[in-house]
Amino acid sequence: MSSATDCRWILVVPDDFISSGRAWPRRWALSRVLDRGISRDLGIRRPIDVIGWAITGHASASTEWPPGPVCWRAEFDSEAPLGALRMDPVNLSAGPRGLCVSPPATLGVTEHEAVRIVRAVTESLEGGALGLRMGSAQRWYGALPDVPDGAWWAPQEIAGQPVLDYLPAGDSGAGVRKLLNEIQVILHQAPENLSRRERGVAEINSVWPWGWAARGLTRVGAQVAHAHSEDPYAVGLSTLAGVDHRSDVGGPGDLDGGGVVVPDPARMSDPAWLEHRWCRPLVRALARGRIDRLGVAVGSGCLYELTRRNLRRFWRTSGRTSA
């Protein structure tokens, strides 16, 4: 971790964004970070933990600050109830090793579908057993009286894997598994899924429980003063840590105290946006001594970090194009 006096800025990007880097022009600031910076493994394998590390400096952030209550805070601008967890819409389909999960991003869930399905599930469950709420078309939430004791996995982490290996096990998970069966019956009968079947589109035939807290949230510290993101985990964690939060579209602005940028995934299809909006101004600030470090952290836990000293290593390249 950098010293307390360092002013560090960190861009958090997905792995496939970096894999496209060979096509970036060498003159780009993004190319300089990857070519001339020092790379190291953060010892993290969960993308959500990389966001947590960037904000807090803690290498296993989601263990202490689980996504259920943290994202709830961001989505609904309120304290999460006890037992809050993510219950995202997914598709379960037969695979060679059993039922496999397709995460929300692959389903094209519309807001209209999400609103109607969430309402149908909430009204059908006896006694409001879940209290299902919608943060967005792809992000749903619930609150259970008893959450499982075991570990959880985000749906994108286990895409294509047999779900029985990842469902909550034992007595503490029995209630969740029973609830999922009830929800699947409701979803099978939903008009929105009937329409999807007729169109040959993958159904929203289950929800996936993850991100629960086995205990109350602990105090959150921060290694930066600013966070620029619309990601609910980044927003919620920034709120809990007292970090100034802004949109990801405006550019650096105030540099003092360091910051974290977690761009919207939709923007990652255009590396020029990140180059001109964020990376180029930050490399310029690094060269002028206004910040001390600039890092690019990828979802698999690798950090590329540039300082003023290694910014001068112009001879370092990674076989990029000469455009």
Average pLDDT over residues 272-289: 95
Q: Is the pLDDT of residue 316 over 80?
A: no
Mean pLDDT of all residues in the chain?
90
Where do we find the tokens 């993850």?
210
Q: Percent of the chain beyond pLDDT 90? A: 70
103 and 161 in a common domain:
yes
202 and 86 in a common domain:
yes
Residues 223, 57: Cα–Cα separation, whole Å: 6
Residue 322 lies in a domain: no
pLDDT tens column, 139-176: 999 998 888 888 899 999 999 899 989 998 888 789 89
154 and 77 in a common domain:
yes
The encoded tokens of residue 142 equal 């619930």
Domain edge (last residue) among 163, 186, 210: 210
Average pLDDT over residues 282-307: 95
- Place 5 in a pLDDT band, splitting at 50, 70 and 90: low
pLDDT for the residue 127:
60
Range of the structural domain that residue 116 is part of: 69-210
- Place 315 in a pLDDT band, splitting at 50, 70 and 90: low
pLDDT for the residue 61:
85
263 and 241 in a common domain:
yes
Domain edge (last residue) among 154, 185, 210: 210
Q: Is the pLDDT of residue 205 over 60?
A: yes
pLDDT for the residue 219:
80
Residue 192 lies in a domain: yes
Where do we find the tokens 């001068």?
312
pLDDT tens column, 80-104: 998 999 999 999 999 888 899 999 9
pLDDT tens column, 34-88: 989 999 999 999 999 999 999 999 988 888 899 999 999 999 999 999 899 999 9
Average pLDDT over residues 306-318: 74
233 and 177 in a common domain:
no
73 and 60 in a common domain:
no
- Residues 39, 322: contact at Cβ < 8 Å? no
- Give the SS3 label for residue 319: coil
pLDDT for the residue 153:
94
280 and 159 in a common domain:
no
Q: Residue 142 belongs to what H/E stretch?
A: strand 139-143
pLDDT for the residue 172:
79
Q: Would you call 299 exposed, middle or buried from its count of C-beta atoms within 10 A (0-12, 13-18, 19+)?
A: buried
The end-to-end CA distance of the chain, in Å, is 35
pLDDT for the residue 48:
95
Residue 316 lies in a domain: no
Residue 36 lies in a domain: yes
More confident residue, 7 or 219: 7
182 and 102 in a common domain:
yes
Average pLDDT over residues 21-26: 84
247 and 303 in a common domain:
yes
Average pLDDT over residues 121-129: 79
pLDDT for the residue 86:
97
What is the number of domains present in the chain? 2
176 and 91 in a common domain:
yes
- Residues 287, 311: contact at Cβ < 8 Å? yes
Where do we find the tokens 């060679």?
96
Using alpha carbons, select from 100, 70, 115 the residue that is nearest to residue 206: 100
pLDDT tens column, 215-265: 777 788 999 999 999 999 999 999 999 999 998 888 898 999 999 999 998
pLDDT for the residue 317:
58
Residue 317 lies in a domain: no
Average pLDDT over residues 29-36: 92
248 and 190 in a common domain:
no
